[in-house]
């Protein structure tokens, strides 16, 4: 049955980020709608942000296109140039390779939700704009590094 049972979809919480970044993702959860519907060619997640939560560290993708539609409440999109308030129905696109990092904050007093779609590149690097961190994903395996490519081993002063 192609209609996705949102109520029966496992709620994913937590983060694969190393600390102290994982803890910063408290209040964020998501439903893997694409997986639930048997899709393999792109990812579709419905992300819920409790008041005060953020969607991710601010980042950009080397190889993967990303699309977001806010579906509930209000999210603040943060990029290099500043902030944009987005409300239900507002959409944003982040083409692969554009180094202007983004994330979404819920600064409101109510729950916010957005749908996010991302392609699945065989090799991907996401770079986190505001900290010395990036993630390399290759054949489904993820590795965190500093921005100079060496393995991540805890927060350090910028080299």
For a second copy, the binding residues (CB under 8 A) are 1-4, 6, 33-34, 36-42, 44, 46, 64-65, 67, 69, 71, 77, 79, 84, 86, 89-96, 100, 102, 115, 117, 119
CA angle 98, 101, 88 (to 5 degrees): 105
Q: Token match 């140039």: residue?
A: 81
- Residue whose C-alpha is closest to residue 146's, from 156, 55, 27: 156
Nearer to a second copy, 108 or 119 (CB): 119
* Residue (26 or 96) nearer to a second copy, CB: 96
CB of 71 or CB of 145, closer to a second copy: 71
CA distance 35 to 42: 9
| 47: CB partners within 8 A, 6+ apart | 28, 29, 30, 55, 113, 114, 115, 116
Looking at the Cβ atoms of 22 and 42, the one nearer to a second copy is 42
Let me know the angle formed at the C-alpha of 139 by 68 and 92, rounded to the nearest 5 degrees: 10
Closest approach of Cβ 138 to a second copy, in Å? 18
Q: Give the shortest CB-146-to-a second copy separation in angstroms.
A: 27
The smaller minimum CB distance to a second copy, of residues 65 and 132, is found at 65
18, 54, 59, 148 from 144: Cα distances, Å: 8, 20, 13, 11
- Closest approach of Cβ 3 to a second copy, in Å? 5
Residue 96 CB, nearest approach to a second copy (Å): 7
Q: How far is the CB of 144 from a second copy (least distance, A)?
A: 24
């Amino acid at each position: 049955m192609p209609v996705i049972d949102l109520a029966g979809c496992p709620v994913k919480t937590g983060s694969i980020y190393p600390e102290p970044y994982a803890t910063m993702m408290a209040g964020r959860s998501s439903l893997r709608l694409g997986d639930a519907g048997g899709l393999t060619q792109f990812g579709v997640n419905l992300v819920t942000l409790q008041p005060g939560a953020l969607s991710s560290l601010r980042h950009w993708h080397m190889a993967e296109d990303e699309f977001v539609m806010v579906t509930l409440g209000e999210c603040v999109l943060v990029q290099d140039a500043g902030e944009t308030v987005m409300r239900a129905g507002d959409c944003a696109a982040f083409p692969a390779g554009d180094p202007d990092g983004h994330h979404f904050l819920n600064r409101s007093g109510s729950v916010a939700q957005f749908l996010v779609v991302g392609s699945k590149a065989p090799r991907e690097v996401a770079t986190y704009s505001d900290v010395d961190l990036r993630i390399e994903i290759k054949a489904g395996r993820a590795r965190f590094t500093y921005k100079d490519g060496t393995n991540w081993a805890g927060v350090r002063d910028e080299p």
